Amino acid sequence: MQIVILDGHAANPGDLSWDALRQFGRVDIYERTAPQDTVRRLRDADIALTNKVFIGADEIAQLPKLKYIGVNATGYNVVDLDAAHRRGIVVTNVPAYSTMSVAQCVFAHLLNITNQVEQHSQLVNLGEWESCPDFCFFSPTLQELDGMTMGIVGLGNTGTAVARIAASLGMHVLALSSKSQEQLHTMGISKARDINHLFSNSDVISLHCPLTTETHHIVNADTLALMKPTAILINTGRGPLVDEQALADALNSGRIYAAGVDVLAQEPPIDDSPLIGARNCHITPHTAWATRAARRRLIDTVVDNVRAFIAGKPQNVV
């Protein structure tokens, strides 16, 4: 059995190990793979493992030995599923490995915005506290989360984790979810009547819904216009959930207060990405999933997925 990892650096920049895969056969690990090298590197592979390297219909047609594609991530849009299924190739993903890491990132952004951690640290390093004539040195716009309303779009694993943390901080939780009010009530969550109700009544909105044709640009000029001028938007979900130009305009005009985003519509961003440099917009480079603990769980599940496939009982099939 030959296993090829096309972009091992994505999940393991060197602090973890792929060695557990070697029990199944030969393992070739490439740190990165350019599109033109995909077919050549997979030509003799039975199993392909990829995080972001695309394996489409053209590649699959040139890989007669390929039996299994493991996506080393939750999203699996890097594989042409129709082409894979026509060939009888099993495709799996890794669900729910980063739930708590992503939830933690939501509050890293939110607490940075409300407590202005980064801003105050920079001012101290610039000597502003030393030269301040007053004992008290702080921004008058510091905010307390207790009593605020957290609006959550999507109550899957991560959305539910965010709701739980928000409640522990004294926030009211309002959710746009397919779950019934009875289900949400037992979780201490109120059900939003519709998207307008959620956006107009939330102090903080956090996005955790899948990217579909219905949710593409769910944050747009119209929904942003419903938000309070003091509101904060957090996006650790998918970049295209947000119309980035509309968000930049809302931030720059003071229509809403701030945004914390870990994902962009194009990654890495293009030079003229409207959110880069937008007022009070805090951007991290898609790191929410990437804690060491989450990446370890990811690799462990990749190994388990391969083991299950070889045993004839594939799991996490998409």
d(CA 274, CA 277): 7
- Packing angle of the helix pair 99-115, 292-310 (nearest 10 deg): 160
144 in helix, strand or coil? Answer: coil
Write out the catalytic residue numbers. 238, 267, 286
Tell me the Cα Rg of the chain: 22
Neighbouring-strand partners of residue 235: 207, 261
Q: How far is CA 270 from CA 148, 154, 245, in A?
A: 35, 28, 13
Q: Are 48 and 66 in contact (CB under 8 A)?
A: yes
d(CA 52, CA 124): 40
Neighbouring-strand partners of residue 265: none
2 in helix, strand or coil? Answer: strand
- Packing angle of the helix pair 117-125, 99-115 (nearest 10 deg): 60
- Tokens, residue 140: 């008058």
